[in-house]
Every structure is written in C-alpha cells, then in structure tokens.
Chains A and B, each alone.
Chain A
Amino acid sequence: MDFAAKLITIVYYCLVAYISAILLWNLIKTKSWDKELLYIIVLVPFLLRLFRLK
C-alpha cells in the first residue's frame, strides 16, 4: 500500500509539472488577453501543489 501510494504520488507530481509547463507554454503562445489571464489563474494552484505549499 505504501509503495503504491508513493508511486501514484510520483506520477501525480510529474503530471502536475507537465500541466504547469503546458499552461506556461500556452500563456506564451496565446494572443488573447482573456486567455492569458485564465492561464495565469489556473497555473497558481498547480504551482502551489508542485512546490508543496498546499
């Protein structure tokens, strides 16, 4: 159980990092200001989890 939880956690953090990177890339690429704002707002909780703050 411990091993499975650790494995899932590692995969989970990899996914969080991947999605954060995608959001950042989309932020750079988009030309629409409302999408930029949306990407920024969505990115914050992902970063908070990635840095293990909440």
Chain B
Amino acid sequence: MDNVRAYIRKMILAALGLALFITSGISFYESRYLKEPVVLGPGVTRVQSLGDYFSGIRDTTNDCNVYFLEGKKQGATIFILGGTHPEEPAGRLAAWLLAENAVMEQGRLIVVLSASRSASTVTRLSGAYPPGFTIPTGWGGQKFRMGDRWTNPLDQWPDPEVYIHYPSGQSLAYVDIRNLNRAWPGRPNGSLTEKTCFAFMELIKREKVDILVDLHEAELQYPVISTIVAHEKGQELATLASMMLSDNEGFKIGTEFSPKNLHGLSHREVGDFSNAISLLVEAPEPFLDATRGKTTEEILLTGKDEFVVKAGKHGLLFEKIDQSGWPINIRVGRHTSTVLQIMESWTEDHAERGLICRSVPRYAEVIEKGIGYYLHDPSKADPKRVVYE
C-alpha cells in the first residue's frame, strides 16, 4: 500500500516537474525563435546579410540583415548599429524606425537592427527578465524579443577564466568574450562574437563607411549616460551635434571622449581600425539599474521605478529621474534626433558629401505620437517588402 502511495506521489511530482519544464521551455523557445517583422520603408533600396561580408558568419545565428537606403544624390555613408546590446531596446527600436521610414535624399544610410542577433534570442540568465515586449500600434501591437547584453551561451560556449581581448591583449571580464561591444575589431578565426565584429569591420571597410553610430542605453547608476562617446576623429562632430540637440530639441546630451586604453568598444576600435568616425550614443534605461524593483515589461517600457527614484534621492545616480520615469518613446526619440542631428552637423561641414534624410520622426514627434505610429502593419504591406529579424 505504501509503495502504491509513493508511486502515485512520484507520478504527481514528476507531472508537476514536466509541466514546469514544458511551460518554461515553450517560453524560452518562443523567445529564441520569435520572428519580428520589418516592413521595408520606401527608402530601402536593398537588403543584404552580414554573411555577404564574411563567409565565416554566414548562416550562423548572427548572420543578421543589413538594410541599405541609398539617396539619388551622391554623399557620405553613415552606418547605424542597433541591437549591439538587445536588452537596451531603444537602440533596436530607433534603428527599426529608420528602416521603416527613412528616405535618403543625399548619401547612404546603412542600418542594422540586430547587431548581436544571438544576444537577442536569450534573456539575462537568472534575471527573470520578461521574454519580450509589445509596442502598441494602431493595428494592434508589435512584439519584440527582449534580449540580453551577451551572446547566447547556446551559440558560444564555454567562457574562459579571463577574456584576453584581441589584438590589444588587454584582460577583460570573462563574460565579455560574449559581449559584442568588447570584441571589436574582431578576428576571422575567433569566437562567434569576434567573428561578428570582424564581419562588421569588413562591411565598414568595403562599403567605405564615413560614420558609425552605435545605439545603446545605460543604467542611471552608470556614469556614461545621456551622452555621445566619440573617437578622437569624431570629437568635433559629436560636440556640434550635442550642442545643437541640447539647444533645439529639449533634451540634454553631452559628449565624452573614447578612452585610448579601453579596448574592444566600437567607439575605440572602429575609429582605430578603419577610416570611419565612430560614435556611441547612450540613453537612460532604469530597467537596467541594479536597485530596480520587479523586472517587468512595464518598467522596461515606462522607465518608472520607485526604487531607482529613491536611489536618485540618495545621490546615487548620474542622470535625473522622477515619478514620470524614462518612457521608451523618450529614449527612442533621443536616438532618432541624435542620428538626424549627426547627419545635419556632418552636412554643414561636408555639403558636397552630405547626408540628407527625411521622413524620420524626431524627439518631439516620437513622444507625441508614440513609436507604434511609425511601425507599419506587415499584414497590409507587400509581402516582398516584409523581412524578418
């Protein structure tokens, strides 16, 4: 009798365990394989893949789409990198608005939405992050993967005890061997993350990119926030753009110079190893702060958190925050305006090789109408003009 009871108990517990495994497994599977539609805007002239620039990355998880928007008038080439750290969604969403709306009148715009595609397929291990988030639109809403800072361990593993950056030889935290923004300029025979950076460097060189803008977000407890980090080649451009934005757009953004002895970051290595000016833009994201409350989709999108506000009252933050938080529309609007202002400031000094872009909403417009207003319904678009991330 006791044996029968023990057997039934085991069966019940095993069924509960199986249910836990299946529900969590489905959530992780959907998060990894969610197809995010991109309705190609009228300005997109072609879509290539990163593997076209380096065969070592072809058909891997990181073989991402590369969107080209080519103006009729010759000009410079600007490359916008979204999704280096997918857990900083304003970078991806701002790039999304460019791919779906921008039209180049002069020069070329190259956009990537999922620079670290593998990192977009996983959330922070043990972080209890939401698997995805939905941006409300007039046609229902568009779902996006949440993502992480680091390449998915399912795609790149194991990590070393210490990560030795190539080619500087600098020792970095072991986990940063999977951080796309610690692996520049990469190498063809390295890890998946290093190969991805190498492929981007090949793209930058082959397409003769003049300016790279890497879009990020940062926790408010991190000192490099609400700023443009500039390689020395881009200091003048970044300073001019920052002054114009702070004067005209209603938000403050500073400039910082890329440290020469901190390796692996795009603002340092792209400038050092190519002809491009490299800039990195940071917007505030309370979701990332260690002192945040419950890690939910709501805090990701509203940027409201009472614990982060309290940290601010104790002087622990490098950016202001109040009860209104840092909503995603504000963060994305900062990025779109910053990209547009960088193009305008560049064009002031290089009229013959200008970058003239239209149909991209600026800060005030994104706040007024919301990101969803500028995302297009894939079910109503020409199927040939819909691609997936």
Residue in B17, B28, B122, B190 with the greatest tally of chain A CB atoms within 10 Å: B17
Does A8 lie within 8 Å of B28, measured CB to CB?
no
The verdict on B55 contacting chain A, using a C-beta distance below 8 Å, is no
In the bound complex, CA of A8 to CA of B160 (Å): 11
B:111-158 near A, CB below 8 Å: 122, 125, 154, 157-158
In the bound complex, CA of A8 to CA of B359 (Å): 50
B154 / chain A contacts, CB cutoff of 8 Å: 52, 54
Given A9-B158, A12-B158, A27-B10 in contact, is the A47-B21 Cβ separation under 8 Å?
Answer: yes
Does A44 lie within 8 Å of B190, measured CB to CB?
no
In the bound complex, CA of A9 to CA of B156 (Å): 9
How many chain B residues touch A (Cβ–Cβ < 8 Å)?
22
Q: How many A-B residue pairs have CB under 8 A?
A: 52
The 5 closest A-B pairs by CB, nearest first: A40-B17, A54-B28, A53-B28, A53-B25, A36-B13
Interface of A is mostly: helix
Does A33 lie within 8 Å of B25, measured CB to CB?
no
Given A9-B158, A12-B158 in contact, is the A44-B20 Cβ separation under 8 Å?
Answer: yes
The verdict on B47 contacting chain A, using a C-beta distance below 8 Å, is no
Given A2-B189, A36-B10, A53-B28 in contact, is the A41-B17 Cβ separation under 8 Å?
Answer: yes
The verdict on B296 contacting chain A, using a C-beta distance below 8 Å, is no
The verdict on B29 contacting chain A, using a C-beta distance below 8 Å, is yes
In the bound complex, CA of A40 to CA of B158 (Å): 26
B122 / chain A contacts, CB cutoff of 8 Å: 54
A40 / chain B contacts, CB cutoff of 8 Å: 13-14, 16-17, 20
Q: For residue B16, give the distance in angstroms from its CB to the closest CB of chain A.
A: 7
11 CB contacts below 8 A, A to B, read A1-B190, A1-B191, A12-B157, A27-B14, A33-B9, A40-B17, A48-B28, A53-B24, A53-B25, A53-B32, A54-B24
Q: For residue B237, give the distance in angstroms from its CB to the closest CB of chain A.
A: 38
Q: Closest residue of chain A to B2, judged by CB?
A: A31
Interface string of A20-54 (1 = CB under 8 A from B): 00000001100101001100110110011001111
In the bound complex, CA of A54 to CA of B122 (Å): 7
In the bound complex, CA of A54 to CA of B28 (Å): 6
Q: For residue A51, give the distance in angstroms from its CB to the closest CB of chain B.
A: 7
B24 / chain A contacts, CB cutoff of 8 Å: 44, 48, 53-54
Residue in B6, B10, B125 with the greatest tally of chain A CB atoms within 10 Å: B10
Contact of A44 among B6, B21, B125, B158 (CB under 8 A): B21
Q: Closest residue of chain A to B32, judged by CB?
A: A53
Does B17 lie within 8 Å of A43, measured CB to CB?
yes
B13 / chain A contacts, CB cutoff of 8 Å: 33, 36-37, 40
In the bound complex, CA of A48 to CA of B28 (Å): 9
Given A2-B189, A28-B10, A54-B122 in contact, is the A48-B158 Cβ separation under 8 Å?
Answer: no
In the bound complex, CA of A41 to CA of B12 (Å): 13
B32 / chain A contacts, CB cutoff of 8 Å: 53
Does B157 lie within 8 Å of A9, measured CB to CB?
yes
A2 / chain B contacts, CB cutoff of 8 Å: 189
Interface string of B171-191 (1 = CB under 8 A from A): 000000000000000000111
Does B157 lie within 8 Å of A5, measured CB to CB?
yes
Q: Closest residue of chain B to A24, judged by CB?
A: B14
Does B189 lie within 8 Å of A1, measured CB to CB?
yes
Contact of A31 among B6, B14, B17 (CB under 8 A): B6
A37 / chain B contacts, CB cutoff of 8 Å: 13
Does A36 lie within 8 Å of B9, measured CB to CB?
yes
In the bound complex, CA of A54 to CA of B146 (Å): 14
Does A51 lie within 8 Å of B158, measured CB to CB?
no
B28 / chain A contacts, CB cutoff of 8 Å: 48, 53-54
Q: Closest residue of chain A to B31, judged by CB?
A: A54
Contact of A51 among B14, B17, B25, B189 (CB under 8 A): B25
In the bound complex, CA of A40 to CA of B28 (Å): 19
